[in-house]
Amino acid sequence: MTDSAPVWIKDPLGILAEGAERGIVIREGRVAEVVPSGAEPVTPGVSVFDAGRHVVLPGLINTHHHFFQTLTRASPAALDRTLFPWLQALYPIWARLTPEALDAAATVAMAELLLSGCTTTSDHHYLFPAGLEFAIDTAIAAAQRLGIRVVLTRGSMNLSQRDGGLPPDRVVQDEDAILADSERLIARYHDAADGAMVQVALAPCSPFSVTTSLMQATAALAKRTGVRLHTHLAETTDEEAFCLATFGCRPLDYLERCGWLSDRTWLAHGVHLDAREITRLASTGTCVTHCPCSNQILASGTCRVCDMEQAGLQVGLGVDGSASNNASNLMQEVRSAFLLQRSRYGVEKVSHTDALRWATQGSAACLGRPELGHIAVGMQADLALFAIDELRFSGALDPLAAVVLCGAHHADRVMVAGRWVVEDGAIPGLDMAALVRRHTAAARTLHAG
């Protein structure tokens, strides 16, 4: 398929789109036509992709990740720990990151995301030990090789243990260096256009690893340059206790003091927010990313997603880092979110379509990308096609429900901006066996010290 050749994705088993029973036509990277029941395309000269084995979804959108953490999956030092002890166990290992190891980690993370049906991902990279000053550049280069859309956040930490923070001294930077590199990345890479493949956002790590001065200066820089803001917030009760002891207020109050509540901000986790705080976030247009697998593995609590949506707050999904989630599979995250939120709110409140919405339209809202996350004329042609003819789907009668309820986890085809980036369950041109060997060697070296 080329950018100029229109293609009819014909007669899918199911499709998450209105009036597209016979599929959709893609032309020049966008959805050019939806084809209703009983109709044929009106677009001339279409080629046909037979989707008779597939359920077609908008490309899934991952709104919170830490690519580098694929190197510390199931790390013995961090097993069976809550967030603060977990971080303290892993910081010394992460401090040994090299550019070569990060390239392997980012490639693994984004390849796994693509194969799970994810077409756009954010990443929150906040570790910049000596020698890793160009970490974001490394991740962008890996994304461009794979063909995935990215909104990469320039994370930061400048509040080390000697200053009363959590991270060790060798993984933090000073404020001037952080702001200078943030400006460099925005000027070099950020594309504000509709359909951009690369965007940059700014993301001080958390209240317990960043100074108030840096939080405020980052908010000012983001406003001046028109980029979005991201951080962890209200993930654990330990964070709440830290903010009360250090700042004399709850995490959301602290964020508001720093000038962060706006429709350009999205927050990771939002587990420990009360009803009034949820209403405050909704009134400012601030969005929240739900990370169900990570929250369950670290026993951090459960995000109140239905309460948030009822208040008018947009909620997206994120896989979070592979050191807490231990996976970078966004379709599995959809199922986890569905099960977790249904167990909290009940059958009447949460359906499979809700979980799919969180990973598509909700996530698009988090990233400020209205051209993504929805199949309709004029939208970007980002699609995930799941074949449901394997054993796990046998007997399933509702194809769209089956991809969630029966546990789809590996896409057969994935399209980004009108180009196939996954074909027949594989990423063209990527030597997966060689990548696994390289990545595994890097992980072992990192742990060996």
Q: Is 59 helix (H, G, I), strand (E, B) or coil?
A: coil
Q: What is the DSSP letter of 63?
A: -
DSSP 149-210: EEEEEEEE----GGGT-SS-GGG---HHHHHHHHHHHHHHH---STT-SEEEEEEE--TTTS
How far apart, in whole angstroms, are the C-alpha atoms of residue 85 and residue 60? 32
Q: With contact defined as beta carbons under 8 Å apart, do 179 and 213 qualify?
A: no
How far apart, in whole angstroms, are the C-alpha atoms of residue 232 and residue 207? 8
The count of residues in the chain is 449
Q: Where are the chain's structural domains? A: 7-58+380-422, 60-366
Q: What is the DSSP letter of 387?
A: E
Q: With contact defined as beta carbons under 8 Å apart, do 328 and 302 qualify?
A: no
73, 391, 14, 325 alpha-carbon torsion, rounded to 10°: -10
> Among 434, 448, 353, which Cα is nearest to 398's?
353
Q: Which CATH architecture has domain 7-58+380-422?
A: Roll (2.30)
How far apart, in whole angstroms, are the C-alpha atoms of residue 265 and residue 267? 7
How far apart, in whole angstroms, are the C-alpha atoms of residue 183 and residue 168? 25
Instruction: Provide the 10 A C-beta neighbour count for residue 215.
Output: 23
Those residues with Cβ within 8 angstroms of residue 148's Cβ, 6 or more apart along the chain or in another chain: 110, 113, 114, 118, 119, 120, 121, 416, 421
Q: Which pLDDT tens digits describe the chain residue by residue (449 residues)?
A: 445 689 999 999 999 999 999 999 999 999 999 999 999 999 999 999 999 999 999 999 999 999 999 999 999 999 999 988 999 999 999 999 999 999 999 999 999 999 999 999 999 999 999 999 999 999 999 999 999 999 999 999 999 888 888 888 889 999 999 999 999 999 999 999 999 999 999 999 998 899 999 999 999 999 999 999 999 999 999 999 999 999 999 999 999 999 999 999 999 999 999 999 999 999 999 999 999 999 999 999 999 999 999 999 999 999 999 878 999 999 999 999 999 999 999 999 999 999 999 999 999 999 999 999 999 999 999 999 999 999 999 999 999 999 999 999 999 999 999 999 999 999 999 999 999 999 999 999 999 98
* Residue ranges in 204-329 assigned as alpha helix (H): 212-225, 237-247, 251-257, 275-284, 292-297, 305-310
Q: What is the DSSP letter of 426?
A: B
250, 253, 257, 259 alpha-carbon torsion, rounded to 10°: 120
Burial class of 26 by CB neighbour count within 10 A (0 to 12, 13 to 18, 19+)? buried
Match domain 60-366 to its CATH number in 3.90.1200.10, 3.20.20.140, 3.30.420.340, 3.40.50.1980: 3.20.20.140
Q: Which residue has the tokens 């390289």?
A: 438
Supply the pTM of this predicted model. 0.97
